[in-house]
Each structure stands twice: as C-alpha cells, then as structure tokens.
Structure 1
C-alpha cells in the first residue's frame, strides 16, 4: 500500500498550490478532521495534514503530487458521514473540498443545477426553490452535509419513496481520478446509452475511486401543495404495516417515516418538548405533495381511513416544523444520551420491516441494552441505534459485534443488506467482506484495482485490496 506518512517537503509543495493558509498542520486545526459523526474513539484518527483546494485544477495538482509520491489521500466533504469513511485511518493527506462552495448554474430550461462539490444540500435546495424548481434529495443532515458527500455515499433521506435516492438525482459529474486526471461523466442530458455508465461507479464509492468536484443534478417542478400527517399507533407492527396499504391504494407519498416509542421519548428529553401521544405511541409520518389540492385532500382522507382500519390510535394533520424537527433530532437525541453508540443502517424488503424490528427488539432484551429504531419504512431502511450508556469500553467492544452478528444474520436471511444509505466506510468494511456474495466482492475489488492500482485513494474503506494496517503515530 502507498505510504501513510507525509514528508515536510510534500507539505511545502501543497502550500505552493493552495496557499499556506489552506494547509493545516496545527493540532487544533487537525482535530475536527479526525472523525466524522461516528463518535466511538475506535474510529478516530488525527490526520497529519489537511489540504483545502479551491478549484478542480488545485485538486488535480494535489492529487498528482500524492500519486507521484505514493502518498495516501482521503477525500472529505462536510464530515457528516456515519461510517468513518472520511477519516485518515491509514495516514496520509485529507483533501477537503469545503472551499468549493459555489452553485455554478441553475438551468431552468433543462431543469438542471450545476454545483461545486462543497455546496451545502439545504443551500442548494433553497436556491432552486427560489427559481420555482425542486431538488428531490433530502438527507436528514441536509443543513450541514455537502452535495458531493451525498453523491459519494449515495445518500437516501426522507424523500426517497417518491423521488429516489441521490443516484436518481445525478445527471453528471466532474471527477479527479487517483492519478490526478480530470474527467466529466454525464452532463445535462437525461438519456445516455454511450458505453459503460462509469458515472454510476462513483456514486456511492465513498471517495475510494476519485474526488467529485462538480455535480449536475436533476430538478423537477416545485409542487404547489403539501400535507404532513402524523399517524399514531400503540403497536409498531400495525404502524409499519400501514405503508404498503397506502402505496397499494394508488398513493405515492413523498416519504413515510417511522419512530418507535423509545425514540420518541428520547427526542422529547432532548428537545425538552412534549410530543403527541408519546406515552404509548409509535409514529408514522407521511408527507404527500402535488399540484391539485382537492386530490391531495382526498388522499389524506384515504390515508386516515386506512390508518383507522389498521388500528391507529389517532391521525393528525402535523405541523411540519414540529414533526420534522422531532424526526431529524433522532440521531442527536441518542448522541446526547450516549456519546458512544452504533447506528446500524439495515435495509430489507418493505414487507419484512415489522418482523425485523420485532426480532431486533428481542435482542435489546437479550443483551440488556437500549436500542432505538427509526427510519424510512417507505423504502425498507431501518436505523437502529445501539447505545453504550454506562458500559465500559471493553464491555462495549465485546458486546457490539455479538449484536451486530445477530442483526446482520437476520437481515440477510430476510433478503436485505447491511447498509441502506450510510455506506460502508471503514466501520462496516469487515462486515461487507463477511456478508457479501464472493463473486460480487471480487467484482468490487477488481474495479478498485483497475481505477486505483496504487491503492492510494481512501484505502481500507468499502473494500480492502491488500493487507492494510492503520498507521501508528
């Protein structure tokens, strides 16, 4: 594998490219780059140097230097990931694209937004909305994550039921390869049968195949009307079983989210706010949108009718500000309770969610550990927060693999996979190796070797192609 250490001479060359101000070597500036949103110390590693280029040309020059010097590089967007994918676990250079933060064009006629890599997702959403257009991607970390990070992890989010995941929004991208070459894949056109669709290799590649510097994103017309419903159940199975009934009724929601009662109560504590029916309730949050208000109201009535047939306690027209604040606070609420926890990100067929959650609840009892569930039941994606609480680090490290082993054995038995939207990174690389079909894994490694023969671009994340050992200080 390429070297993890960075020479003083190389650091000086970086300064000549991006300017001394944008090459970090001081400990206080390096610390924020030592982790993403994974707060377990096991996954933290302070980099030796962070470089902040401002243009694709600067990115290319930095990458070429790393390639020529056999030096590991780690692409990094906003650092909001949940798989330790943008951490310098194996040493080397972190290349942060945070200065590349311009929206380059909103093309209303072609309904495309062209953006630099470091634009915050919510900023992009607001910009296109002012033009009467709509961007369908909506990860829960939209206020802080960068659009290129969404692409690199194929982020999902709340609107995936109707609009799809990030992959479904991307029409093209500019990429700097591990050798420092620059290539544009795709563009403003919506159809393409011109050879291999290489663009899709980079979507979800988590910075292991190159650095995304520009993206072309599909836009749609801004819906005129929107309605948010909160449906409360005392039985989680009944709650989740509502989703296929709604979709089979000819209604395509923007999103269908769920929160179990333990999650709701934890969010109440975190926000210091009373939430509806929180004493016994499990939540289903449904958003619908469209251009005909009468049709929307008919859909609301049908959803309420189906909910009542499915033993709902109550159905409420929800205040979007309140209910979405509660749903999006799920992660922070658990972090406030237990700084160290493991957020699992399973995906199963939609109809298998009740059985999966039911069996996962039994694991909570078996191991006497708090496990909170929430997620996107409209697309089968369940988030499970396993909380360390007051256990010692040794007890935690002994217990967690046992729980994960049981969860993933169940998930694959149900026809699912170990990550729906958070990705693999370093955190789940060994799990991917264990559970993935050997032929599929061989194909993934062949792609990595072909595009990154020196194993220089974010090694040890997603798949390992040789014996990689984290660099010691």
Structure 2
C-alpha cells in the first residue's frame, strides 16, 4: 500500500499539496456540487515535470487520477473516486507564446477562456469557441470538446486545437499535433484525446489556432408567437446562407427566469425568441440583416436590432445565465442533447408533450443552428425518492427519443458520471469495445478518471 504522503517529495510546497481529510468539498464535486467523491490528495502543479512525476507515482501505486480545470462541468467529470489524486491546473495558467505570424498560441491548460479571449482580441486576433461558461478553463474546454453559441459559424473547440502536450498515465510526456495546418502523417492522436474527459491522458500544454478579429459584430432579436414557429424558421435562415455567428432559441418562460435572476429586462415581449449574431464587415452585416428580414417577415412578430452595446450585453447575459437562473429556483438536471437540425421541432414538441404528461417542468433553450437542445429538467417540490425515480424515467424517454431521431445524449457537456448508463444503453457494443481498446492503449491500468471511462 502506497504512502500517499510521499507526494511531498514531488510537491514540496505545502501550499500546493493537501491531503484528506483537509480537502475542501468543492474539489470533490463539479459546479453543481451534488455528486460527491473521495480523494486522498489534491495537488496544484506548476509544471509538466511535476504532473509527470505525480502520474508516475500514481501509476506505480495504482492510484486513480482526476484532472481538474476550473471545475465548471455539469456532469461530474471532475468528481474523484476511490481515494484518487486530484490534479488541479489552476496554477498552470499562463499564455506561453503568441505567434501572430502563424495565428497560434501556446497556453497552459488552466488559462481561463474569457481571459484568453480578451487577451488575443487586444492583439487584433480572435479565438472563436464560446461555450456558455466563460470562466471555464481551456484544458476543460478541450477535454469536453466544448461548443457554445458561435459553433454554428465557427465550429467547436476541436477545430481550434492544433497540438497538445500530454502526460500519459505512466508519466510519459508526449506532444501530438504541430503548427502545420495540414497533417496526414499517421493517426491524428490529438483528436482522439479531445473530448475524452481526462480518461486517456492529462493535458499540460495546448496549441490553439486563432483567426483575425472580425471588424464588427451585431446581434438581433426576433420574437415569435410560439417556440414551434421560431424553430421552424431556423432551416430557412440556414438555407438562405446568411451565415450567422450565433443562432439561439429561447422560450419566454425561460427568459423570465433569467430576468428575475439578473434583475434586468428583455427588450421584447413574445412567447419565444431567436437570438442571432452576425460578424464581419459592415457591408456583410447590413446585407445579412436585410436578407434575414425577408426570410422572417411571414413568421416573426417583431425583429429588433441590438445596436446599443449595453442592451446587447444584457440580452446575452440573460441567455448565458439560464442554467444558473433555473438552479437558483430549484434543483435541476441540465441536459445537452443534440439532434439533426431538421429534427429540432420534432424533439422540442416531444419535450413539451412529455412535460404535460409527466408534470415535471422542462425548460428548453439552446443552439438552434447546430441542433444542440439544452434542457433543464426541474425537480420542484419532489422528495428525494420521487425526484430520483421520476427523473430517471423521464431521462430514459428523452434520450430514447433523441436516439430515435438520430441524435445523441451529449453535444458538449460530456458524459461524466451522470450519463454513463445511458451511454452504454444507446451505444453499440462494438463501438464501446473499440473505445475500451483505445483507453487500454493510453492507460493500461485504467487509473485516469476511471468512473467516467468507457469500461463498464
């Protein structure tokens, strides 16, 4: 049996090493704080060498490892189990290199998304990934392949990762990828790691792709008499090739929660909304707005341009706070189901009908432009037993419907510990077996985030 205090030989600074039972509760959970785990030690490394040494120690002693970024995940991806060692990357938070000629930046995994975006925009550059949680870490974004509101135009985190420095389970350090824009030189190992939620390797450095900062960005809010009418307008917008940066749908009842939470008002009264952003030159935006007016003239009740910067910021703040706004009213289960774009109306209609039948409140909003439907399934006044039973029954129905429509149980949150059972139910056994083979190749002893791995 390993003596966990031997970690002090690796992390000699007492301020960067904590042993159980002195580990704060927040490090044993995710941002919701409801799923609790157990850990024997918490380390705050400041270098790849320290991460490698900790991994080697854990591997030799078969101790689970749980990598942790900002802890903003919603599915228990950072919940440690079985006396794990938590590796917290909050001190590895530096931008190591900004290469303006090649439009790249090397960063450490603990860099916070909104801080990095402000930094590169100050240099005339742009990092497009834009998930709802702006205080998430870059390493966490990569580990879940975070999407967000700008994915409809720019894609997801995967599209902006060019290389990764990784520490394998046994402590070996490797780099996968490069600054080259094209690469058919063997298998793309970085793409295997992106979205793997810390189950394959530990990210210690990230090479990110940047683009030129758009000249201008402008948002628009369209109100509709029903959510169905708003959702049905989405394919028309996409077919018109307007290329919006963001294309979100929100119900009025959801907006009300955001208004109450932030104590600010939405500028338009309708039953449902589409919130769009366009970026580029002034001419491109003006042209897109004119075409959008034509596309929506028969379905939208009213369209307003959010020219005022403060007004636009408030509208997007309301959109961005929705999970937190629901959480402030009641415990809830946040879902990020994704379906083919053409199936959004079918799925949302199913959700509304299930809400009526079950009596369990289900609040829908999300990324209309890429089929990512976010749901808050609300507990209300249910007892622990009622909540557990009814929630599981409704999740089975929601995930089964998504599967029948050709969708998936997660578009950007990941599986964590929350969705493992549903993942195994909806994923062919042959696919699971292949994923297990990949896991075994990277982590033969299965010590990296084992409770959220693909092994039953």
Q: How far 1:29 sits from its partner (Å)?
A: 4.2
Match of 2:279 in 1: 289
Which blocks of at least 5 consecutive residues in structure 2 are unaligned? none
1:367-417: per-residue Cα shift (whole Å, max 9, x none)? 111111111010000011001121111110010111011101110110000
Match of 2:40 in 1: 48
SS in 1 for 2:385: helix
Match of 1:34 in 2: 28
Q: Determine the C-alpha separation between the residues in 1 that align with 2:65 and 2:431.
A: 26
Q: Spell out the pairing of 1:320-469 with structure 2 (5 A cutoff).
A: 320-338=312-330, 340-465=331-456
Match of 2:300 in 1: 312
Q: How far 1:161 sits from its partner (Å)?
A: 0.8
Q: How far 1:364 sits from its partner (Å)?
A: 1.0
Distance 1:301 1:271, change over 3 A: same
1:114 counterpart = 2:106: yes
Which blocks of at least 5 consecutive residues in structure 1 are unaligned? 1-5, 466-473
Q: Determine the C-alpha separation between the residues in 2 that align with 1:104 and 1:424.
A: 31
Match of 1:179 in 2: 170
Q: Determine the C-alpha separation between the residues in 2 that align with 1:315 and 1:232.
A: 6
**Residues 20 and 39, structure 2, Cα contact 8 Å, conserved in 1:** no
SS in 2 for 1:131: coil
Q: Determine the C-alpha separation between the residues in 2 that align with 1:15 and 1:266.
A: 50
- TM-score, structure 1 normalization: 0.93
Q: Determine the C-alpha separation between the residues in 2 that align with 1:402 and 1:132.
A: 50
Q: Determine the C-alpha separation between the residues in 2 that align with 1:187 and 1:97.
A: 23
Q: Determine the C-alpha separation between the residues in 1 that align with 2:272 and 2:379.
A: 23
Q: How far 1:305 sits from its partner (Å)?
A: 2.0
Match of 2:56 in 1: 64
Distance 1:267 1:15, change over 3 A: farther
Q: How far 1:295 sits from its partner (Å)?
A: 2.6
Q: How far 1:200 sits from its partner (Å)?
A: 0.7
Match of 1:471 in 2: none
Moved over 6 A (4+): none
1:298 counterpart = 2:292: no
Q: How far 1:124 sits from its partner (Å)?
A: 0.7
Match of 1:470 in 2: none
SS in 1 for 2:376: strand
**Residues 362 and 375, structure 2, Cα contact 8 Å, conserved in 1:** yes
**Residues 31 and 46, structure 1, Cα contact 8 Å, conserved in 2:** no
Taking only aligned residues, the RMSD between alpha carbons, in angstroms, comes to 1.4
Q: How far 1:15 sits from its partner (Å)?
A: 5.3
Distance 1:367 1:405, change over 3 A: same
**196-205 or 44-53: bigger deviation:** 44-53
Q: Determine the C-alpha separation between the residues in 1 that align with 2:158 and 2:25.
A: 32
**Residues 336 and 411, structure 2, Cα contact 8 Å, conserved in 1:** yes
Distance 1:25 1:380, change over 3 A: same
Distance 1:170 1:18, change over 3 A: farther
Q: How far 1:450 sits from its partner (Å)?
A: 1.7
